[in-house]
Structure 1
Amino acid sequence: MATRSRRPDRRQEPLSRERIVEAAVELLDSVGESGLTFRALADRLATGPGAIYWHIAGKAELLTAATDAVVAAAVRPAEPGGAPGDGVRTVALGLFDAVEEHPWLAAQLAAQLSRSPWGTVAPRIFESIGREVRALGVPEAGWFTATSALMHYILGSAGQNAANTASAAAPGAGMERAEFLDAVSTAWEGLDPDAYPFTRAVAEQVRGHDDREQFLDGIALVLAGIVALHPPVAQPAVTVVR
């Protein structure tokens, strides 16, 4: 006797925007933006596409919400009582690791920051970094420039690192990270010494370097420049009333 294939059991908890966004992040991580469809999302959530549309108007809104959710988890503040600059490093590494963990994130961040900087993503990142810049004692006149410099360095470096990782892991590349860096270093060493003397001189440093350490060294350089150009102002004393 013929039997009908059973549909996946619907989950008992009510569908919510949070569940939809969580499932969208999982789909983006596994199949990328091209695989994120409302049909695939409905299958994952064991519901109908119409139920998802009740919470999310379309794919653009879904991508924004997924990006914002990942960023919100990444930019948690540092523990209080740390050394000056620890807060900046904590936010920076959170974003760096998030871009590394979610291959789709770098492209979405670039799109969000260029197309809709008035949305939720850009202000969330800027606020997280800006609070740490303010905590350094940077005068208010330097807040925007200092925060912008850090934001561009963090996202640019994280995006380039993610692109390098994806390039090395692409089908047909057949390279581990060490092999990829060795190939770059070897190519630079073979450049014309008259046209590229500096690049040839640092080619060996490319081979085997640690991306996170290099990233944090860059943060240190930017922070040193910020403090040199915008010396911290003394914080007002707190009067304790007894």
Structure 2
Amino acid sequence: MVKKARSSQRREDSLSRDRIIEASIELLDESGEDGLTFRALSERLATGPGAIYWHIANKSDLLVAACDAIVARMVDEHVVGGSPKATIRALALGMFDAMEAHAWVGTALIRAAGQLPTVRVLECIGQQVRALGVAADTQWTIVSVLLNYILGVGGQNAANAQFARTHGLDRSSFLDAVATDWSALDASDYPFARSVAGAMRDHDDRVDYLAGIDLILAGIKGTRTGRT
């Protein structure tokens, strides 16, 4: 019995938490949340469910851990110093690209509100907002706006891209059709939509996203400590 226990312990040790998380990320990238099951994970890792439960309690915890691994990796790669504004821009673009590369991350972050993946992003933004000299009584508001923009807009872009892939939609053709429809709207009821219909055809989602970050950062100027 002792020999069996030691063998089991060695098996648990060889199947590390990191291996489980990486395999989970692969499954999520391939098949989305529906494809992440302990049965599929067991087959991917050539082990039994019990060995996985040794490290991860349930699917919810596994999804949070996989999401946190993506966020932590992104922070390590993209947030490497520079001015506070440059760091926030780098974080925002890193998150945008991470959510685009891993379409499930946006939804996972929303579900993990208050948990480590979201806190990592919150902390990074918060430290930079403080470094900008923002008054203490407005720091939370500004950090919340940035966090919600990054997760909301970045997550929506990823969801749109995933929808297009799932339904076999070509982005250029789709945008051209939308622009054509907008151009045909009643000029008296929809003057603005008609005026920007042409821009719809060739706009860059990533550029638009970053422009929004820059607008928020530009608005911080009047909230700094000691402002006149």
TM-score range for the pair, normalised by the shorter chain length: 0.7 to 0.9
Structure 2 SS opposite 1:75? helix
The residue aligned with 1:65 is 65
Check conservation: 2:84, 2:132, Cα contact below 8 A.
Answer: yes
The residue aligned with 1:120 is 116
Check conservation: 2:125, 2:147, Cα contact below 8 A.
Answer: yes
Cα deviation code 1:22-73 (max 9, x no counterpart): 1101110011111111111111111111100111111111111111111111
Check conservation: 1:42, 1:49, Cα contact below 8 A.
Answer: yes
The residue aligned with 1:45 is 45
Letter aligned with residue 161 of structure 1: N
Q: Say whether residues 1:135 and 2:128 are aligned partners.
A: no
TM-score normalised by structure 2 residue count: 0.87
The residue aligned with 1:231 is 224
Change (3 A) 1:130 1:225: same
The residue aligned with 1:240 is none
The residue aligned with 2:144 is 148
TM-superposed deviation, 1:105: 1.3
Structure 1 stretch displaced more, 217-226 or 135-144: 135-144
* 2:210 aligned to which of 209, 212, 216: 216
The residue aligned with 1:106 is 106
Structure 2 SS opposite 1:151? helix
TM-superposed deviation, 1:233: 5.3
Check conservation: 2:132, 2:224, Cα contact below 8 A.
Answer: no
The residue aligned with 2:5 is none
CA distance, structure 2, for counterparts of residue 139 and residue 15 of structure 1 = 48
1:64-103 correspondence runs (5 A)? 64-76=64-76, 78-80=79-81, 82-103=82-103
TM-superposed deviation, 1:175: 2.8
* Structure with greater helix share of residues: 2
CA distance, structure 2, for counterparts of residue 137 and residue 57 of structure 1 = 42
Consecutive unaligned residues in structure 1, runs of 5 or more = 1-10, 235-242
TM-score normalised by structure 1 residue count: 0.83
Check conservation: 1:150, 1:219, Cα contact below 8 A.
Answer: yes
The residue aligned with 2:158 is 162
1:163-242 correspondence runs (5 A)? 163-171=159-167, 174-228=168-222, 230-231=223-224
TM-superposed deviation, 1:207: 1.2
TM-superposed deviation, 1:202: 1.3
Letter aligned with residue 125 of structure 1: V
RMSD of aligned Cα (Å) = 2.0
Q: Which structure has more RCO (C-alpha within 8 Å, separation ≥ 6)?
A: 2
Runs of 4+ in 1 over 4 A off after TM superposition: none
